[in-house]
């Protein structure tokens, strides 16, 4: 089935998310939609899937104009989607998830689970997925959950399949497997839309590439185009793919972590006997697929985890067992991985957010009262210094773009006297301009002699920032390797394989 989008326009208030976007996807082709965060890719796909209604434009299937008032219509027309955030019910079994929405029933609306199990087995056998229809989805690894999503779409005989940023949660190996599945589907005649911002994947799998920027199609490219060409098209200017930095001038061991073990309330071990050291003036970047203990590591460093054993020593002072307040006061700066949940109070103004982790004493609080003049002067300075694009310091941060929100967090954390900076996913969901700015700030922090721990699931970012790279897998350190370690070795390490010559 051929899919064509004609002049799709979607507005949110004054903002034009999609501006007359046209796109054609042929059966048996993998069509890549490339664009940076916020370019409007997901909005376009939500229009296609009936989750949003387009303000203008048409969706055509095999030349027929179609109107989708909801995902049900889109699915009935043969469009399936593998969502970036899986649309699976965690407490349901695989079979229940797959059957949901088109349930086979017996007399009186009773569910026919046997039919659903058979359907799951049939499809997963066809692609060699080995899915257990009765497994609860929340118990499955992320990669397997994604396969459930694919089976879900295929069980409705989807002829157009949209993959929305599918590799964000996968290891390089799982990514390769996914690519193989996509090719297999393509060869079976499915039209595939592959949404991503990762250049490498595009070049590997795409038959055609459409690049969008700021809601507009800015061009088509061949899979043979170079990374630099694609990046320039995506961002609209030449992009430095590497971060300019001098070799690190490292000092003494500043952060010494030994035997760090973190469990959750249910007793599950998330971080298992981790040892590492960061010297002053050095960036240690943590690589690994999401969910391998990175979150727990950064949170344990700041005192946010409840069940921690082992030792975290910063300049000789033990941090384990101390409150978050104490840890922050001892000079730890923290950029949390999800700014909207952990980093900012959306309804608060920029100024109020800038005092979030200094709400007890000077300079912003004196004798129990907030020192508003001091705070406002401080906020105005930071706004300029960190290039936060906002109408003023009293703007609620919820009204800022992702990049500007992140700059507020970075500004707040770097404005304290730091002895350690912990940055988790510092540029997730941020535009390229802000990424460059934040990377420069991180390197500047390093150059000021402060130890920096960066966690990122984007291997490019890890390689760009790191002086040394630590790879985590299932809560354990696979190895700590130099920044110039080849990517394929890093990729293998992310699956738990330890190259010889590397010590844990």
Map the footprint of other proteins across residues 264-303, applying CB under 8 A: 265-269, 272, 302
Q: How far is the CB of 438 from other proteins (least distance, A)?
A: 16
Who contacts 64 (Cβ-Cβ below 8 Å, separation ≥6)? none
Residues 36-65 interacting with other proteins (rule: CB under 8 A): 37-43, 46, 49, 51-53
Q: How far is the CB of 187 from other proteins (least distance, A)?
A: 27
60/115 with CB nearer other proteins: 115
What burial class does residue 379 get, using C-beta atoms within 10 Å of its C-beta: 0-12 exposed, 13-18 middle, 19+ buried? buried
Q: What does the alpha-carbon distance between residue 371 and residue 199 come to, in Å, rounded to a whole number?
A: 48
User: What mask of x and - would describe binding to other proteins in positions 355 to 374, judged by CB under 8 A?
Assistant: xxx-xx---xx--xxx-x--
Taking CB atoms within 8 Å and a gap of at least 24, the contacts of 19-25 are 19/214, 19/215, 19/216, 20/56, 20/57, 20/216, 21/57, 21/212, 21/215, 21/216, 21/217, 22/217, 23/210, 23/217, 25/160, 25/191, 25/192, 25/193
37/175 with CB nearer other proteins: 37
452 CA to centre of own chain: 20
Among 402, 415, 458, 460, interactor with other proteins by CB under 8 A: 402
29/348 with CB nearer other proteins: 348
238 binds other proteins, rule: CB under 8 A: no
136 binds other proteins, rule: CB under 8 A: no
The DSSP line for 315-335 is TTEE-TT--HHHHHHTTEEEE
284, containing H or E segment: strand 283-287
Q: What does the alpha-carbon distance between residue 131 and residue 152 come to, in Å, rounded to a whole number?
A: 12
Residues 301-340 interacting with other proteins (rule: CB under 8 A): 302, 304, 323-325, 327-329, 334, 336, 338, 340
411/443 with CB nearer other proteins: 411
Q: How far is the CB of 466 from other proteins (least distance, A)?
A: 16
Q: How far is the CB of 223 from other proteins (least distance, A)?
A: 23
Name the segment binding other proteins (CB under 8 A); options: 9-17, 23-31, 281-289, 379-387.
9-17
69/246 with CB nearer other proteins: 69
What burial class does residue 230 get, using C-beta atoms within 10 Å of its C-beta: 0-12 exposed, 13-18 middle, 19+ buried? buried
Contact by Cβ (8 Å): 143, 171 = yes
Q: How far is the CB of 224 from other proteins (least distance, A)?
A: 27
Pair type for strands 283-287 and 452-455: parallel
Q: What does the alpha-carbon distance between residue 350 and residue 345 come to, in Å, rounded to a whole number?
A: 9
CA triplet 374, 377, 380: central angle to 5 degrees?
145
Among 28, 128, 392, 482, interactor with other proteins by CB under 8 A: 482
Who contacts 120 (Cβ-Cβ below 8 Å, separation ≥6)? 94, 95, 98, 131, 133, 151, 155
- Which strands sit side by side in the sheet containing 253-263, from one edge to the other? 253-263, 307-314, 317-318
User: What mask of x and - would describe binding to other proteins in positions 415 to 454, judged by CB under 8 A?
Assistant: -------------xx-------------------------
Among 3, 5, 8, 17, interactor with other proteins by CB under 8 A: 17
Contact by Cβ (8 Å): 348, 396 = yes
* Total of chain residues touching other proteins, rule CB under 8 A: 110
Residues 64-123 interacting with other proteins (rule: CB under 8 A): 70-73, 75-76, 81, 83-92, 96, 99-103, 105, 108-111
63/501 with CB nearer other proteins: 501
150/280 with CB nearer other proteins: 150
166 binds other proteins, rule: CB under 8 A: no
């Amino acid at each position: 089935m051929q899919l064509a989008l004609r002049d799709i326009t979607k507005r949110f208030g004054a903002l034009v998310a999609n501006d007359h976007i046209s796109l054609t996807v042929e059966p048996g082709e993998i069509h890549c939609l490339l664009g940076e965060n916020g370019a409007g890719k997901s909005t376009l796909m939500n229009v296609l899937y009936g989750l949003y209604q387009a303000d203008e434009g048409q969706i055509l299937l095999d030349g027929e104009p179609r109107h989708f008032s909801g995902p049900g219509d889109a699915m009935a027309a043969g469009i399936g989607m593998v969502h970036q955030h899986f649309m699976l019910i965690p407490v349901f079994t695989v079979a229940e998830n797959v059957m949901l929405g088109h349930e086979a029933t017996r007399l009186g609306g009773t569910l026919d689970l046997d039919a659903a199990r058979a359907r799951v087995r049939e499809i997963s056998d066809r692609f060699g997925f080995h899915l257990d229809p009765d497994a609860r989805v929340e118990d499955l690894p992320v990669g397997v959950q994604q396969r459930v999503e694919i089976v879900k779409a295929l069980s409705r005989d989807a002829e157009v399949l949209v993959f929305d940023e599918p590799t964000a949660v996968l290891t390089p190996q799982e990514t390769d497997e996914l690519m193989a599945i996509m090719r297999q589907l393509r060869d079976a005649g499915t039209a595939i839309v592959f949404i991503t911002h990762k250049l490498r994947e595009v070049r590997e799998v795409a038959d055609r590439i459409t690049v969008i920027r700021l809601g507009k199609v800015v061009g088509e490219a061949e899979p043979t185009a170079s990374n630099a060409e694609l990046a320039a098209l995506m961002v609209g200017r030449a992009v430095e793919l590497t971060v300019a930095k001098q070799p690190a001038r490292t000092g003494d061991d500043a952060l010494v972590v030994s035997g760090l073990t973190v469990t959750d309330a249910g007793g599950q071990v998330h971080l298992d006997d981790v040892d590492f050291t960061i010297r002053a003036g050095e960036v240690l970047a943590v690589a690994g697929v999401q969910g391998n203990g990175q979150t727990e590591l950064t949170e344990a460093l700041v005192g946010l985890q409840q069940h921690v054993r082992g030792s975290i020593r910063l300049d000789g002072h033990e941090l384990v067992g101390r409150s978050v307040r104490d840890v922050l006061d001892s000079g730890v700066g923290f950029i949390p991985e999800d700014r909207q949940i952990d980093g900012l109070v959306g309804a608060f103004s920029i100024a109020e957010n800038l005092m979030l982790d200094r709400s007890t004493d000077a300079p912003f609080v004196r004798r129990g009262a907030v020192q508003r003049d001091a705070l406002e002067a401080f906020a105005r300075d930071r706004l300029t210094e960190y290039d936060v694009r906002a109408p003023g310091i009293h703007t609620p941060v919820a009204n800022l773009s992702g990049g500007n929100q992140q700059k507020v967090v970075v500004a707040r954390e770097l404005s304290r006297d730091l002895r350690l900076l912990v940055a988790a996913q510092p540029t997730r969901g941020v535009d390229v301009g802000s990424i460059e700015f934040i990377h420069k700030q991180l390197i500047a922090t390093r150059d000021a002699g402060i130890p920096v721990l960066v966690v990122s699931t984007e291997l490019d970012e890890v390689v760009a920032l790191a002086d040394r790279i630590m790879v985590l897998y299932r809560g354990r350190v696979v190895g700590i390797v130099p920044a110039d370690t080849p990517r394929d070795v890093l990729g293998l390490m992310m699956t738990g394989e330890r190259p010889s010559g590397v010590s844990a």
